């Protein structure tokens, strides 16, 4: 039975794997009894193929959860199919909001223009939470270099009330990501070459100019910098979150 104290478990895991490489953190995480049932959540975005490739090497049958918001770029949907087939991932689950939810919250597909937080909530956070309720931990591709809110990211972090998050790439630098892709000859998301270093939904993602923060094209011109699935308990909050 899992220890109910998330802080204790996260601290114990961070101590246990503090000096391990990313792929070893991932390899051990999928079978460590302190984590329980584990799934990978992937956007199949600009850098997602790194973790997906690692999973294909250590646990190709691990559940991979892909949220289709029904507002993604066509290139992302095609890339998801290509990468899943190429890497031999055997349990990719496509998650969407229900027709009933869409009809109730965004029947004309314009909610993102007036309330992007609400759009992300019902298209991403709520459908994902339904599926993640069956797991004790989930793996993300978050990294310290991505923005200020992630600067102190650890391999393992609590997500109250009852889950842990695993961030195997937390300590990677941008060049580590690129080197891994090159060394393993991994397919790139086609939009990266068009100036999209961070890729979300089509209406809320724009190209990034040289010198800009890689995530500056997400919700450009707004205070918003996260979709919500990476906030504690899925809550839409601002600033630094303390567990």
Residues 145 and 46: beta-carbon distance below 8 Å: no
Q: Which helix (H) or strand (E) holds 58?
A: helix 48-58
What backbone torsions phi and psi does residue 170 show, to the nearest 5 degrees?
A: -50, -40
What backbone torsions phi and psi does residue 157 show, to the nearest 5 degrees?
A: -140, 145
**Active-site residue flag, 227:** yes
What tokens were used for 82? 């290509």
Tell whether residue 204 is among the known ligand binding residues.
yes
Q: One of 29, 30, 199, 227 is an active-site residue; which one?
A: 227
Q: How far is CA 35 from CA 110, 157, 222, in A?
A: 39, 11, 36
What tokens were used for 204? 């809320």
Q: Which is nearest to 47 in space by CA: 176, 137, 152, 148?
A: 176
Tell whether residue 120 is among the known ligand binding residues.
yes
Q: Which is nearest to 229 in space by CA: 65, 70, 74, 76?
A: 65
Query: Each residue of 131-143: b (16+ CB within 10 Å) or e?
Result: bbeebbbbbbbbb
Residues 63 and 95: beta-carbon distance below 8 Å: no
d(CA 94, CA 135): 16
- Residues designated as active site: 227
Q: Which residues are part of a known binding site for [4Fe-4S] cluster?
A: 119-120, 201, 204
């Amino acid at each position: 039975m899992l220890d109910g104290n998330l802080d204790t478990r996260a601290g114990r895991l961070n101590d246990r794997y503090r000096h391990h490489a990313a792929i070893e953190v991932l390899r051990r995480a999928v079978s460590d009894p302190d984590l329980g049932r584990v799934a990978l959540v992937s956007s199949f975005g600009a850098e997602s193929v790194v973790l997906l490739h690692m999973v294909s090497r250590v646990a190709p049958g691990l559940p991979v959860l892909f949220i289709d918001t029904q507002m993604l770029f066509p290139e992302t949907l095609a890339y998801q199919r290509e990468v899943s087939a190429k890497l031999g991932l055997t349990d990719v689950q496509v998650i969407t909001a229900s027709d009933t939810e869409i009809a109730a919250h965004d029947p004309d597909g314009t909610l993102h223009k007036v309330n992007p937080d609400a759009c992300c909530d019902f298209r991403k956070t709520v459908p994902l939470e339904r599926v993640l309720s069956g797991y004790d931990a989930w793996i993300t591709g978050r990294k310290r270099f991505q923005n200020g809110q992630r600067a102190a990211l650890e391999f393992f972090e609590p997500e109250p009330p009852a889950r842990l998050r695993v961030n195997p790439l937390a300590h990677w630098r941008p060049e580590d990501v690129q080197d891994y892709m090159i060394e393993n000859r991994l397919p790139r998301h086609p939009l990266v070459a068009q100036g999209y270093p961070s890729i979300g939904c089509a209406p809320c993602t724009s190209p990034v100019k040289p010198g800009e923060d890689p995530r500056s094209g997400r919700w450009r011109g707004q205070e918003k910098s996260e979709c919500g699935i990476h906030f504690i308990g899925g809550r839409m909050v601002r600033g630094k979150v303390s567990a």
